[in-house]
Amino acid sequence: MAIDLPGHGSRNDPHGSFRYEIERLLDRLPGSIDRVIGYSFGGRITLGLIQAAPERFHAATIISAHPGLTNPILREQRRTADRQWIERLRIQGIAAFVQAWENLPLFATQRRLPASVLDRQRTCRLSQCPEGLASCLERLGLAEMPDAWDDLIHFPGQLRWIVGSEDRKFLHLARQVAERRATTDLMILDGVGHNPLLEAPAMLANCLFHKSLTSIESA
């Protein structure tokens, strides 16, 4: 199963807290789903799922995601930064947002990709509803996500963490997870940046081959 995030694609805009939206998603997932994968924002949603129902999932794979902010000052700084993106979406619209988003240093490695690949991604981003994305940042952004660090340590299932070697910030976070939870299967993709799905799909597919997985992705 491939599930759109709240406010993305065909999904309705989120209207509750991070935990509320996680509970809604848990209610909708078939009981047969016991493994989950999430990339970036979707990775944080995946963390929310195993945080809320650790015994339900036998395995989780997190790709290029943040386990949550523990410092209240950093949390408020992130909330302030997200408000700027929210205002851009609601005032300037989706095109201005996408242009600014694609110029973030986080995505610098993607400039090496063929224009056709980037054009497909841009088309997908431009098809999103600006209010849906704004609502996601407002209600489900990193500033609103509960800290999942302790829950990761105690998660009883298999945990894989995938990150690109050139994604410095998220590589540091991944190594912190592996240090705190020694059984974490840390996979570092050489020469890859923040988005392995776009930059190295074949390499990522080799890491992900598993049955009965739910994929949760963000634009």
- The model's pLDDT over 193-205, given as tens digits with 9 standing for 90+, comes to 999 999 999 999 9
Query: What are the beta bridge partners of residue 36?
Result: 60, 214
Over residues 85-137, the pLDDT tens digits come to 999 999 999 999 999 999 999 999 999 999 999 999 999 999 999 999 999 99
**CATH assignment at residue 164:** 3.40.50.1820
Domain range for 205 is 2-71+147-217
Q: Both 66 and 153 in a single domain?
A: yes
- Binned at pLDDT 50, 70 and 90, residue 2 comes out as confident
**In the structure encoding, which two tokens stand for residue 137, read together?**
């940042």
Give the pLDDT confidence score for residue 145 in this predicted structure. Answer: 97
176 and 198 housed in the same domain: yes
Q: Residue 211: its pLDDT value, please?
A: 40
Comparing 11 with 59, the larger pLDDT belongs to 59
Say yes or no: 54 and 160 in one domain: yes
**Judgement on whether residues 151 and 133 belong to the same structural domain of the protein:** no
In this structure, of 7-11, 69-73, 187-191, the range with the lowest mean pLDDT score is 7-11
| Res 215 pLDDT > 50 | no
Same domain, 64 and 154: yes
Q: With a cut of 70, say whether residue 212 has pLDDT above it.
A: no
In the chain, the number of structural domains is 2
pLDDT band at 4 (very low <50, low <70, confident <90, very high): confident
SS3 assignment, position 46? helix
Q: Residue 150 above 60 pLDDT?
A: yes
User: Do residues 154 and 64 share a domain?
Assistant: yes
24 and 110 share one domain: no
Q: Is residue 7 located within the same domain as residue 67?
A: yes
Q: Report residue 8 as tokens.
A: 């993305």
User: What's residue 193's pLDDT?
Assistant: 97
Residue where a domain stops, chosen among 139, 169, 195: 139
Q: Are 6 and 136 in contact (CB under 8 A)?
A: yes
Same domain, 82 and 110: yes
Q: Whole-angstrom Cα distance, residue 157 to residue 183?
A: 10
- Cβ atoms of 39 and 161 within 8 Å: the answer is no
Closest by alpha carbon to 7, among 117, 118, 102, 86? 86
* Residue 83 and residue 66 in one domain: no
pTM above 0.85, yes or no: yes
Choose the final residue of a domain: 82, 108, 139: 139
Residue type at 126?
A: L
pLDDT in tens, 28-43: 999 999 999 999 999 9
